[in-house]
Chain A
Amino acid sequence: MAAKKVQKQTHLKKDETFEELLKPVYKGKKLTDEISTAEDKWNLLPAFLKVKGLVKQHLDSFNYFVDVDLRKIIKANQLILSDVDPEFYLKYVDIRVGQRSNGSKDYLTPPHECRLRDMTYSAPIYVDIEYTRGRNIIMHKDVEIGRMPVMLRSNKCILHESDEAMMAKLNECPLDPGGYFIVNGTEKVILVQEQLSKNRIIVEADEKKAIVQASVTSSTHERKSKTYVVTKNEKIYLKHNSIAEDIPIVVVLKACGIVSDLEVMQLVCGNDSSYQDIFAINLEEAAKLNLYTQQQALEYIGSKVKTVRRQKLSVLQEGIEAIATTVIAHLTVEALDFREKALYIAIMTRRVVMAIYNPKMVDDRDYVGNKRLELAGQLISLLFEDLFKKFNSDFKASIDKVLKKPNRAMEYDALLSINVHSNNITSGLNRAISTGNWSLKRFKMERAGVTHVLSRLSYISALGMMTRISSQFEKSRKVSGPRALQPSQFGMLCTADTPEGEACGLVKNLALMTHITTDDEEEPIKKLCYLLGVEDISLLDSASLHLNYGVHLNGTLIGTTKYPTKFITHFRNLRRSSKVSAFISIYANSHQKAVHIATDGGRICRPLIIVSDGQSRVKADHLKKLLDGELVFDDFLKLGLVEYLDVNEENDSFIALYEKDIDQNITHMEIEPFTVLGAVAGLIPYPHHNQSPRNTYQCAMGKQAIGAIAYNQFKRIDTLLYLMIYPQQPMVKTKTIELIDYDKLPAGQNATVAVMSYSGYDIEDALVLNKSSIDRGFGRCETRRKNTTVLKRYPNHTQDIIGGMRVDENGEPIWQHKCLGPDGLGEVGMKLDSGQIYINKSIPTNSGDGVLTNTQSQYKETPVIYRAPEPSHIDQVMMSVSDNDQALIKVLLRQNRRPELGDKFSSRHGQKGVCGIIVKQEDMPFNDQGICPDIIMNPHGFPSRMTVGKMIELISGKAGVLNGTLEYGTCFGGSKLEDMTKILVDNGFNYSGKDMLYSGITGECLQAYIFFGPIYYQKLKHMVLDKMHARARGPRAVLTRQPTEGRSRDGGLRLGEMERDCVIAYGASQLLLERLMISSDAFEVDVCNKCGLMGYSGWCTTCRSAENINKMTIPYAAKLLFQELLSMNIAPRLRLEDIFQQ
């Protein structure tokens, strides 16, 4: 039986990452053990993550783009016609990425090689085309039109579905989540962007200005525009950017063909008399303008349109065009019937009227259900379509150019000119991803900072980056709304993980168990709705429109239904039996009397257990099958046990947190409550016992912790890498830690902490470190810094060379060349001191000359010299050839660092501190077992911070040490304090975790019992060595002659404006003079006392005499100012007086 099971598992083996969690014996729990749904339903979570992964949103979105969206783009732009030859056409038939038409996949340079060689990890884009050559139609398959950067671990990536052995072979870390791109050797992430949902009506009110407005941002492939229905002087108008004036709403409706005032009233107000009273005034507005017919209204609107067109249209045509395509652009009318549009505008107006009547009927911009997340796939899709359009128009231009020539000798083959432009797509994509500047011509959109370099500071920081969501809001704005914690983000966005400071609340993180939807087809859903009894909107008369519930599909009214609950139940049943995609949401809004169905992409949703008839549908039996590997997460979906809810539908459900809370009204149950937190906040043990900002602080600090980065960390050559030498997995884990494999790539060590005062060097959160602990490797880390050199080739066939080493008279290499090998490159393992050379490069002196002038080339030495206060070791030297055939040398320099005074440490509870003193072990306190603390922490850190979680971590950790187990500190769960104290007592310790310690100095027993035990400590990347800086004399800036700025330039320490104020206030004039001039930019100047201008070398050029010249010292900056004033015809004249009267 067991063997069979194992076999089955190897068969299923696709992603071993979560395999362990699904094995028959897991964490001491055997198959035969009793399974209770309440306890074990959390097993759905690893099952979910196994299918979905941590960065599934990125991968899904990219996969959708390359598999589906690309085809749609091709289809929308499939024909290229020539202006010259009406016979010519070229048609795109199909498009593929990295795969030929016969199914064979292209060889891609493996991602790690791309990283090392500064290349782009990309796959060719193939199209199948059909075009005319002369009179023949020619099909051509697999034409490469460019290269597409490939997202790591997407289905176009070679790592897709590869096992651990394969990953190791490719030098990849199996725990690396993927989801990023490699462009020119750097890893780039396209952050998730948060936006207000498109094509939906948002109603807002400004009570002060008495304005109510309904707005909708229409977004199609071609254009993006915003339409408003606003109130002005209690009348309602339609506003659009391309219409010069606000148009009275009744005129717009008349232009849409609703000519009778009665029908307008019916559409907007139904038979609600209070709405009618509010709206009635608008009917007058149209009457005042003498507009009665559709044609008149269209002409009125046409005369207000301000679009510039190449083609001249009549006023009526302008009006038709405005109504059909410009206004509410996502509903483009192709035919004569404007009814759909009329209804949409009427609904918008109705929402405005409703909000006027009841100001509470407005939408909340910050509500997560009104937001959509834009992912890598969508962003690249926008960019690609833009580039593809450009490609096609360039292509067309070059075709036209050839076809224009009257007598061509040969028949023109369009294929010849297609490859000319292929570089545009490749370089366009590369440039956008590597710079982060997204410029889309057709939307006239410029967006900067879309991509970021993947932070490889630690595994967690990389992971945190993949789940990050950045908001479009400006950081400088002082509104609190978008920054506030939204109740609707429960379970969708992490409640703790957000940065402090200006981006607080604007940058968010996904919770652990979320999914972001991709676009789904609307048409089949529409049909389904009609089959389920929805009355088609085009058959309804206006009078009966508002009698029943409206059914909205992606914000557009498609019909009405008399029985909304029945309809929703039917629809949900179809979804639960997977007849309809699981990610389509449906919910009722009773205020608007509407049923909303959403199929669009970018909605956040999460799985929940379905509860029916007061019972969870997931039974122990199902969980058993899940653990046995008979069922996977998707089966739970198919069986209708679990379903995805988006934020809007969640609001329409009753969700129980625990099984005990279930009653008859409950519709769903949480899979695990700790999934409200994200991956980064999931590291915190007992976060539910902490004051909430502490968890937020830890989220920021967890990303700075030094630890293991990936299994391939020693093979990587990154600009800067911090690695911990002896990382440990935490004693107190959480389920999240196991799920995200933090225990395999940890960033920290379990330190034995004594909470007590010691030495006075522990004030302000400073820590006392045990010297022997440091000797044993506590907090030891290494930094690895990359240095890249390119050996350039020049047009005159000269190139940079590497010289050998220079030797002295004894044949020994000179000191500077001591680390070099015979090849002129630093030897691996050598210690580099400041001033020594590790690449002995020379460049030709005559690189600019022509080929013929100089055959004998001369070289100038430009060695790469190591300059740093501390020596480094050469860890790796790599020589390769980059994309453009230039030799590329990368040298990795390593520094080993042990903790020193001022290095920063933190526990997992937002409690950071710097090392204040390092004490010899013999002076440290110890208990009667002889255990010495690694860290002494001052107890004042606790009362105001209220990090009770840290105390419980200590107790659980201590119990774990005594018991030989790893304990759990999972949020809303974890090992119970009661059990832990029991273990402590059983092992002869005090239940409270306090021990009796002896002073290391006197040997006396300490006066108080000391809270003593292990706490997981992280070493943060801020280290004294990187910050320490002082200078006496040093470099000065050329222009101002003032000392340079910044540590990297060996800059001076600035006595700033405020410090200056202090010195002035104190009256220390000589100090002021010294700091601001003598030590900075003192300059001796010759002043002519006659003309008051400056001369030089004792001569006044203005007066042509040396008679009245006086020497004085002024700041060089002042001299610059005088000269600059002179240059703009202002003569600052200096009048000198004697200080001492003679």
Chain B
Amino acid sequence: MSSENQLFVTDEDDKVQDDEVMDESENIVPQAKSEETYIDDEEDPVIQEFPLNVAGRDETLHILQYANKPKKMGGKAADHPLIGAARYKPNSSVWELDVPVDEAAFYNKSRAEENWGEANIQTLRGVGVENEGQYAGFVSNGQIYLLSVEKVAQLRPFFKYIDKVSTERKQDDAKRNANPASQKSQVVTMSVRSVNDQTQNRLAGSLLAHKVADEEEATEMSWVENTFEAFKESVVADAAAHVLQPVGDAKEYEEYS
């Protein structure tokens, strides 16, 4: 878990760039070749060639995409918003990040307090989706290092405070409107259900997933910044230690393609 913590922060480059990096897919070797030849046709010569390293061992990389972040964040304080707290539900792979709201600008404090009480945190929420064959990469010393990505989560605002207020209001309504009929004492016929009544756990599919996610305890995580360089070095060092050997030779690849 801790390794993960230091990881996702580091690769959060600009998104567009990010996507391009992820483009490189598993069978990068034959693919790159064919693309090069293709581009050659369009008079686009190869300027430089890079050695590829499929690096990393047991790191679990998650990519967090800030889906609603404008391309140019004001102030360039960071490439990502300031994170106050981070939570993760490993079974349902739900990420929640708390971003403190800048109360100084564009913030109507009185309205917020009137409606939702303390609403000075924006929560970003996203579900991690597994992706096969996606790699995150960086360039170091003229070499490309690729690390396999486990999950990608798109983070979107999650207005917990609105939902909270609306459910509270609904409960109030229910209490207030409780019709007198229901308050009267009633004779209720009770029946004993058999023990293995299946209506209880018959939820399936998405409903079940939601139920599991709601009931799962989130793991609190600490947010660590500026670990990219260290991580990079560790990966480079690691990759240098294990040189990957191709399973087959060039001929076999040619035959395959």
Contact = CB atoms under 8 A, between A and B. Distances in A.
Task: Please determine whether chains A and B interact with each other in the same assembly.
Answer: yes
Interface of A: 83, 86, 257-260, 262-263, 292-296, 310-311, 313, 317, 320-321, 324-325, 332-337, 339, 530-531, 533, 535-536, 538-544, 566, 570
Interface of B: 15-16, 19, 22-23, 25-27, 31, 34-35, 38, 63, 65, 67-68, 71, 92, 94, 127, 129, 131, 133-134, 152, 154, 156-159, 162-163, 166, 196, 198-199, 202, 205-207, 209-210, 213
Contact of A260 (B68, B198, B199): B68
B209 A334 contact: yes
A296 B25 contact: no
Contacts of B68: 260, 262-263
A321 B208 CA distance: 10
Contact of A539 (B31, B65, B127): B65
A324 B205 contact: yes
B163 A296 contact: yes
Given A86-B196, A260-B68, A538 B129 contact: yes
B157 A336 contact: no
Contacts of A325: 205-206
A646 B183 CA distance: 68
A1095 to B, nearest CB: 68
Given A296-B166, A539-B65, A541-B67, A320 B19 contact: no
Contacts of B154: 339, 538, 541
Given A292-B162, A293-B159, A339-B154, A317 B207 contact: yes
Most buried by A among B16, B68, B92: B68
Nearest to B212: A336
Contacts of B202: 311
Given A86-B196, A539-B152, A541-B65, A335 B15 contact: no
Contact of A535 (B23, B35, B133, B209): B23
B210 A336 contact: yes
Contacts of B198: 83
**Lowest 10 CB-CB distances: which A-B pairs, in order?**
A324-B206, A337-B127, A293-B159, A295-B163, A336-B127, A335-B209, A333-B206, A538-B129, A260-B68, A334-B205
Contacts of B31: 531, 533
A524 B94 CA distance: 28
Contacts of B134: 536, 539
A342 B141 CA distance: 42
A539 B206 contact: no
A260 B27 contact: no
Given A293-B158, A336-B92, A339-B154, A321 B196 contact: no
A1046 B154 CA distance: 76
Contact of B131 (A533, A539, A566): A539
A837 B63 CA distance: 90
Given A320-B207, A530-B133, A542 B159 contact: no
B16 A544 contact: yes
B64 to A, nearest CB: 12
Contacts of A295: 163, 166
Given A339-B154, A539-B19, 19 more contacts: A258-B156, A260-B68, A263-B67, A292-B162, A293-B163, A296-B162, A310-B199, A320-B207, A324-B206, A324-B207, A332-B205, A334-B209, A335-B92, A336-B209, A531-B25, A538-B129, A539-B22, A541-B67, A566-B38
Contacts of B196: 86
Contacts of B23: 533, 535
Given A260-B157, A295-B163, A336-B213, A542 B19 contact: no
Most buried by B among A257, A317, A332, A536: A536
B167 to A, nearest CB: 8
B159 to A, nearest CB: 4
A294 B156 CA distance: 11
A296 B92 CA distance: 22
A536 B159 contact: no
Nearest to B156: A259
Contacts of A263: 67-68, 156
A295 B16 CA distance: 30
A311 B199 contact: yes
Contacts of A531: 25-27, 31, 133
Contact of A335 (B127, B156, B162): B127
A317 B205 CA distance: 12
B206 A321 contact: yes
Most buried by A among B15, B63, B94, B162: B162
Nearest to B15: A541
B27 to A, nearest CB: 6
Contacts of B35: 533
A259 B207 contact: no
A961 B145 CA distance: 82
A337 B206 CA distance: 9
A543 B207 CA distance: 29
Contacts of B199: 310-311
Contacts of B94: 336
Given A295-B163, A539-B65, A259 B157 contact: yes
B95 to A, nearest CB: 11
Given A296-B163, A334-B205, A337-B127, A544 B19 contact: yes
Contact of B210 (A86, A320, A535, A544): A320
A257 B156 contact: yes
A263 B94 CA distance: 20
Nearest to A338: B206
A339 B153 CA distance: 11
